[in-house]
């Protein structure tokens, strides 16, 4: 493929870009390719270019401030979006995100993340869509189309094979050409072909010996050459390491700044004859093209001149959440809830866990917890609540009950500025400092104010960050020393755990003074200026047995028990991988005893990626709610009460770690061989012949479906199905293709297409699924090309990879 035909508007934009490029000298060009701070590129007034602003992504738009006082809508996590199996819903999410980006002056959203679920241990599993490249590509296409229809660019990331976090900056992933093409590159290829993204982000890791920010073959030859990608290529943050390697490897922009391998170093490399100026020009051309597309290059008409209709973010967040919930088990019609009393149990039911950790974090203006959602939806007096078990093993950013502000002082101790602090997290990047403060004058930041506890007992207060701190609570100094990192990752200050430093006996309702002073020390191994630390807190820990006993009491007294189990941001986050798939803390014990006390026990699993559910056969129902975004609690009430059916299907196989076929995410001597080759996800489970807890594609609704007929040829499958239940419903019809004569070198089956069908009770509906040519192709390593494999195939239509209802033989 060679990219889309240029429209007259494209041609006009290109002319403006060429003219602007012609006016820039080498130094200005080199400067444009280097971040000027954490999120932006420099403006070049001489050509009428404004500063380009980028922001994470993918579930909201954080903006240039990493702070709760600059809120953004928080949609459900990417695994949740993928569980809707609905590219149109992904497109609508994209439209909302473009609206959010424009509100915050952001031109490029650093999303979507389309790496694959190679192993359930991958730390950013929650941030990727699926184990299947076809489903990932379809969702990514919808998402990018939506964002860009709002005139905002995307960077599809992380190109390529950033599928785990262990040693992510240096790991060399060894992958066969075939696995690369058929699995890891495939979503990128689909999105480039169908959504024409304006950007791509190259990953930290290496592939087959070359770091991705210098990968001439994959970037210049495959992405740009074969696929016709005409957008810009930005490095993952700090991933660009070598001036000549990066520019020759096709990297256009090195982020963040101001210290990068581009800028002056790049201009010098051209002057020294190490880099051709034409190579720099090509990169600048792509950046100017992006600027023209988003409307910040004078004289160029942006791609979008009429904005899409305004989207209600609250409503959309709630709709996506309920469409994403996967009902994996529902015995004796346990759900929807019948009239009667409900005992809601679990720490996450009260302190909602709505998103995964790391750069995907955004700060919503409001959060509807499950307790809030069910309290609003159920008749008064029918709901009781107990914590049961608290999985949090570490302190959280100080929030509830804290009233704080940040006071900045110079080296002489004079106050030079202040800023409100909506919670205990300070994260000031680049020039984002309180008014009147500069990096040159700032010496200390004091987070100061009061804390009014909601419970009496020993409260733990701690510090997240690295450097010299002084912590006082209620007049007593608990820490006055230096806190050092325990890991060699420049982002440890962001992703590391808070350290407990004080235990203070406090009384509910009685405010005490708290103060945490940080002596600002700009990190040397991070190229941008960032002031980051946090005041952290944990409530008095109650006796775990007592908590469980209390939960059993409320469960026994109610008609139904709803137990929320959850992971924490120590379990699922950017920056590290998981080492097991267990639910943290005493949550498994809790479910077991509650289920023994109440046969109508419904478990809601609040995690972004698979966890083990050892009690799953002993409870009435299991509903997976992922990280459901800011409206998760309202959506949960919609689904539990039956106002809406849960619409999700698994985008990834759920099983135990002992059975999971691909679990190696730790490199040896810097190398991680993808030894399983083509066999990840359901492809691997089928090969090893193990039955997972819940297969790929599985998910129940509140009605029944009968598959009546299937007609298929090499390009299309037509399926007739009937809603044989008692209420309207929506079904995700999945089409898999397999070879009639199995070939052990090839996965037995693969997803070739899917579509949603909706029908009322008793109604039948016919749907058509287009079968892509790629469903019958393999990557021929010798020919270095796709090869169409003629022969006999079986096309099956069904409700999951395991629940195949109808089969049709075809020849292609």
As annotated, the active-site residues are 236
Q: Find the residue with minimal CB distance to ligand BGC.
A: 359
Question: Toward ligand BGC, which CB reaches closer, 162 or 369?
Answer: 162
Q: Is 235 in the site for ligand BGC (CB under 6 A)?
A: no
Beta bridge partners of 807: 796
Contact in structure between 590 and 20 (CB atoms under 8 Å)? no
- Shortest distance, CB of residue 724 to ligand BGC, whole angstroms? 45
Q: In 3-state terms, the chain is what percent helix, strand and coil (to 5)?
A: 25, 25, 45
- Shortest distance, CB of residue 56 to ligand BGC, whole angstroms? 5
Question: Toward ligand BGC, which CB reaches closer, 143 or 615?
Answer: 143
Residue from 790, 791, 696 nearest 749 by CA:
696
Question: Which tokens go with 655?
Answer: 């099983």
Contact in structure between 52 and 41 (CB atoms under 8 Å)? yes
Which residue matches tokens 């287009």? 770
SS3 80: helix
The whole-angstrom separation of Cα 207 and Cα 219 is 12
Q: Where are the beta strands (DSSP E) in 555-600?
A: 560-566
- Shortest distance, CB of residue 561 to ligand BGC, whole angstroms? 39
The number of angstroms, rounded, from the C-alpha of 593 to the middle of its chain's C-alpha atoms is 33
Question: Toward ligand BGC, which CB reaches closer, 56 or 631?
Answer: 56
- Shortest distance, CB of residue 101 to ligand BGC, whole angstroms? 14
- Shortest distance, CB of residue 473 to ligand BGC, whole angstroms? 32
Burial letters for 608-647: b for 16+ Cβ neighbours within 10 Å, e otherwise? bbbbbbebbeebbbbbbbbbbbbbbbbbbbbbbbeebbbb
Question: Toward ligand BGC, which CB reaches closer, 40 or 448?
Answer: 40
Q: Is 446 in the site for ligand BGC (CB under 6 A)?
A: no
- Shortest distance, CB of residue 41 to ligand BGC, whole angstroms? 14
The whole-angstrom separation of Cα 108 and Cα 289 is 13
Taking CB under 6 A as the criterion, the residue among 24, 98, 110, 551 binding ligand BGC is 110
Q: Is 56 in the site for ligand BGC (CB under 6 A)?
A: yes
Alpha-carbon dihedral sign for residues 239, 242, 245, 246 = positive
How many residues appear in the chain? Answer: 812
The whole-angstrom separation of Cα 182 and Cα 789 is 14
- DSSP characters for 114-153? ----SSTT-TTGGGS--S-HHHHHHHHHHHHHHHHHTT-E
Question: How big is the site for ligand BGC, counted in residues (CB under 6 A)?
Answer: 7
Residues near 142 by beta carbon (within 8 Å), at least 6 away in sequence: 86, 87, 88, 89, 90, 91, 94, 195
Question: Toward ligand BGC, which CB reaches closer, 57 or 648?
Answer: 57
- Shortest distance, CB of residue 634 to ligand BGC, whole angstroms? 29
Question: Toward ligand BGC, which CB reaches closer, 78 or 150?
Answer: 78
Pairing of strands 172-174, 764-770: unpaired
- Shortest distance, CB of residue 237 to ligand BGC, whole angstroms? 4
Question: Toward ligand BGC, which CB reaches closer, 130 or 359?
Answer: 359
Contact in structure between 154 and 144 (CB atoms under 8 Å)? yes
Contact in structure between 623 and 335 (CB atoms under 8 Å)? yes
Beta bridge partners of 767: 719
Residue 330's H or E segment, with its range, is: strand 326-330
Question: Toward ligand BGC, which CB reaches closer, 110 or 712?
Answer: 110
Question: Which tokens go with 255?
Answer: 């982020």
Question: Toward ligand BGC, which CB reaches closer, 236 or 631?
Answer: 236
Question: Toward ligand BGC, which CB reaches closer, 118 or 749?
Answer: 118
The whole-angstrom separation of Cα 261 and Cα 31 is 11
The whole-angstrom separation of Cα 222 and Cα 228 is 9
Q: By CB under 6 A, what part of segment 356-375 binds ligand BGC?
A: 359
Q: By CB under 6 A, what part of segment 724-753 binds ligand BGC?
A: none
- Shortest distance, CB of residue 236 to ligand BGC, whole angstroms? 5
State the SS3 of 254-299. Answer: ECCCCCCCCCHHHHHHHHCCCCCHHHHHHHHHHHHHHHHHHCCECC
- DSSP 8-state class, residue 212: G
Taking CB under 6 A as the criterion, the residue among 198, 237, 402, 754 binding ligand BGC is 237
The whole-angstrom separation of Cα 45 and Cα 716 is 54
Question: Toward ligand BGC, which CB reaches closer, 327 or 429?
Answer: 429
Taking CB under 6 A as the criterion, the residue among 157, 181, 722, 750 binding ligand BGC is 157
- Shortest distance, CB of residue 358 to ligand BGC, whole angstroms? 7
- List the x/- string, 183-222, binding to ligand BGC by CB under 6 A: ----------------------------------------
End-to-end C-alpha distance for the chain, whole angstroms:
23
Q: Is 236 in the site for ligand BGC (CB under 6 A)?
A: yes
- Shortest distance, CB of residue 478 to ligand BGC, whole angstroms? 32
Binding site for ligand BGC (CB under 6 A): 56-57, 110, 157, 236-237, 359
């Amino acid at each position: 493929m060679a990219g889309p035909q240029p429209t007259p508007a494209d041609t006009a934009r290109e002319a403006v870009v060429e003219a602007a490029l012609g006016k820039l000298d080498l130094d200005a060009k080199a400067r444009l390719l280097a971040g000027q701070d954490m999120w932006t590129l420099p403006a070049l007034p001489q050509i009428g270019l404004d500063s380009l602003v980028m922001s994470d992504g993918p579930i909201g738009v954080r903006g240039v401030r990493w702070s709760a006082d600059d809120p953004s809508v928080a949609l459900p996590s990417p695994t949740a979006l993928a569980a809707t199996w609905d590219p149109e819903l992904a497109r609508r999410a994209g439209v909302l995100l473009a609206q959010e980006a424009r509100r915050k002056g952001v031109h490029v959203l650093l999303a979507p993340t389309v790496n694959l679920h190679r192993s359930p241990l991958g730390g950013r599993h929650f941030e990727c869509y699926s184990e299947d490249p076809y489903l990932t590509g379809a969702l990514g296409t919808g998402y990018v189309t939506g964002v860009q229809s709002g005139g905002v660019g995307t960077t599809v990331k992380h190109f390529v094979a950033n599928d785990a976090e262990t040693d992510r900056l240096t790991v060399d992933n060894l992958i066969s050409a075939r696995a690369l093409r058929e699995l890891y590159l495939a979503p990128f290829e689909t999105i480039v072909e169908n959504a024409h993204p304006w950007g791509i982000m190259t990953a930290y890791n290496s592939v087959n010996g070359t770091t991705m920010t210098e990968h001439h073959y994959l970037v210049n030859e495959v992405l740009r050459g074969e696929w016709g990608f005409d957008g810009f290529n930005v490095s993952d943050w700090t991933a660009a390491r070598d001036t000549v390697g990066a520019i020759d490897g096709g990297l256009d922009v090195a982020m963040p700044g101001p210290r990068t391998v581009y800028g002056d170093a790049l201009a010098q490399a051209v002057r020294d004859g190490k880099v051709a100026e034409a190579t720099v020009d090509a990169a600048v051309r792509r950046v100017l093209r992006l600027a023209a597309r988003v409307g910040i290059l004078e004289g160029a008409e942006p791609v979008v001149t009429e904005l899409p209709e305004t989207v209600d973010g609250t409503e959309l967040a709630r709709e996506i959440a309920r469409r994403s919930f996967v009902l994996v088990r529902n015995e004796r019609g346990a759900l929807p809830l019948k009239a009667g009393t409900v005992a809601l149990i679990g720490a996450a039911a009260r302190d909602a866990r709505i998103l995964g950790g790391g750069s995907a974090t955004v700060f919503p203006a409001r959060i509807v917890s499950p307790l809030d959602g069910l309290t609003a939806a159920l008749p008064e007096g029918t709901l009781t609540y107990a914590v049961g078990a608290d999985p949090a093993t570490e302190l959280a950013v100080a929030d509830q009950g804290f009233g704080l502000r940040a006071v900045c002082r110079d080296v002489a101790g004079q106050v030079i500025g202040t800023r409100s602090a909506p919670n205990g997290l300070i994260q000031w990047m680049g020039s984002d400092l309180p008014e009147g403060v500069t990096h040159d004058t700032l010496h200390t930041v004091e987070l100061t104010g009061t804390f009014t506890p909601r419970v009496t007992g020993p409260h733990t207060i701690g510090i997240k960050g690295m450097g010299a701190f002084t912590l006082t609570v209620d007049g007593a100094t608990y820490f006055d020393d230096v806190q050092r990192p325990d890991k060699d990752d420049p982002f440890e200050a962001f992703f590391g755990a808070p350290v407990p430093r004080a235990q203070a006996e406090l009384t509910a309702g009685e405010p005490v003074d708290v103060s945490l002073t940080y002596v600002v020390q700009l990190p040397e191994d991070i190229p941008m200026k960032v002031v980051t630390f946090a005041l952290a807190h944990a409530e008095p820990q109650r006796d775990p047995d007592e908590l469980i006993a209390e939960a059993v009491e409320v469960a026994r007294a109610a008609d139904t028990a709803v137990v929320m189990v959850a992971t924490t941001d120590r379990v699922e986050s950017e920056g590290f991988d998981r080492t097991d798939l267990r639910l943290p803390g005493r949550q498994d014990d809790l479910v077991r005893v509650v289920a023994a006390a109440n046969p109508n026990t419904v478990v809601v699993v609040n995690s972004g990626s698979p966890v083990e559910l050892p009690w799953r056969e002993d409870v009435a129902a299991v509903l997976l709610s992922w990280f459901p975004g800011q409206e998760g609690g309202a959506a949960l009430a919609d689904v539990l009460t039956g106002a809406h059916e849960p619409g999700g299907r698994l985008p990834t196989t759920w099983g135990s770690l002992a059975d999971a076929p691909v679990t190696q995410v730790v490199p040896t001597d810097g190398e991680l061989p993808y030894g399983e080759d083509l066999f990840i996800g359901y492809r691997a489970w089928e090969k090893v012949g193990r039955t997972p807890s819940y297969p790929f594609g599985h998910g129940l609704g509140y009605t029944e479906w009968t598959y009546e007929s299937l007609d298929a040829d090499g390009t299309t499958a037509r399926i007739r199905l009937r809603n044989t239940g008692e209420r309207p419903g929506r079904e995700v019809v999945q089409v898999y293709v397999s070879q009639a004569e199995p070939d052990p070198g090839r996965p037995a089956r693969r997803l070739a297409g899917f579509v949603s069908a909706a029908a009322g009770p008793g109604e039948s509906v016919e749907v058509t699924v287009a079968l892509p040519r790629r469903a019958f192709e393999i990557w021929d390593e010798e020919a270095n090309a796709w090869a169409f494999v003629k022969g006999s195939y079986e096309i099956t239509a069904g409700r999951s990879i395991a629940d195949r209802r109808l089969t049709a033989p075809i020849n292609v």
